[in-house]
Amino acid sequence: MNPQPGSFPAAGHDHHACVRSALRGAERLCAEQGLRLTAIRRRVLELIWQSHRPSGAYEILEQLAGEGHRPSPPTVYRALEFLLAHGLVHRISSRNAFVGCSRPGQGHMAQIFICDRCSVAVELADGTLNRRIRRNADDLHFHIREQTVEIAGLCPACAGRANEG
């Protein structure tokens, strides 16, 4: 089952499918737009997709280091810059971290829900919400370039266990 955008991933979902789907999506998008999904970029995207939790740049760096690459920060940040620029990942400002985008290539006005306990992040694209934001901006005569909507709290699974550990 693919990552169902708009719901928290089920406990035992086939996550390999998430990764495969994300990589295939990236390949397709790059092919269509004449972009170069180089080895590093591909590998960084793959690492980010290893879970639904946002990854820090230095986490990615460490994982790459464990594979012989030993890249330096700029290398990783450049790959992230590319992935961000083409909508393949989202940056989570409130955590200084990056998460794979569930719907690449469809414009990116996402709101992202992040669990305080398990860190799983899920994105939602809500036209109504986006229109409301745009309308508020219009009232202020403000020209939107980019928006950040991040909601922190407890995912359903963790809310259930709220009183445990």
Partner DNA sequence: AATGAAATGTTATCCTGTAACACACTTGGA
Partner DNA sequence: TCCAAGTGTGTTACAGGATAACATTTCATT
Residue 147 is a binding residue for a second copy (CB under 8 A): yes
CB 149 within 8 A of CB 110: yes
Amino acid of residue 150: E
**Structural tokens at position 148:** 């950040």
Residues 94-113 interacting with a second copy (rule: CB under 8 A): 94, 111, 113
φ, ψ for residue 8, nearest 5 deg? -75, 140
- Residue 19 has a CB neighbour count (10 Å cut-off) of 19
CB closer to DNA, 44 vs 122: 44
152 binds, among a second copy, DNA, Zn ion, none (CB under 5 to 8 A by kind): a second copy
CA angle 151, 118, 92 (to 5 degrees): 40
First to last CA, the chain: 30
Q: Which of 143, 163, 164, 165 is the binder for a second copy (CB under 8 A)?
A: 143
Report, in Å, the least distance between residue 139 CB and DNA. 30
Report, in Å, the least distance between residue 165 CB and DNA. 19
Q: Which of 115, 121, 122, 123 is the binder for Zn ion (CB under 5 A)?
A: 115
Residue 61 is a binding residue for a second copy (CB under 8 A): no
- Residue 106 has a CB neighbour count (10 Å cut-off) of 12
Interacting residue ranges for a second copy, rule: CB under 8 A:
6-8, 93-94, 111, 113, 115-116, 122, 124, 126, 128-129, 132-133, 136-137, 140-156, 159
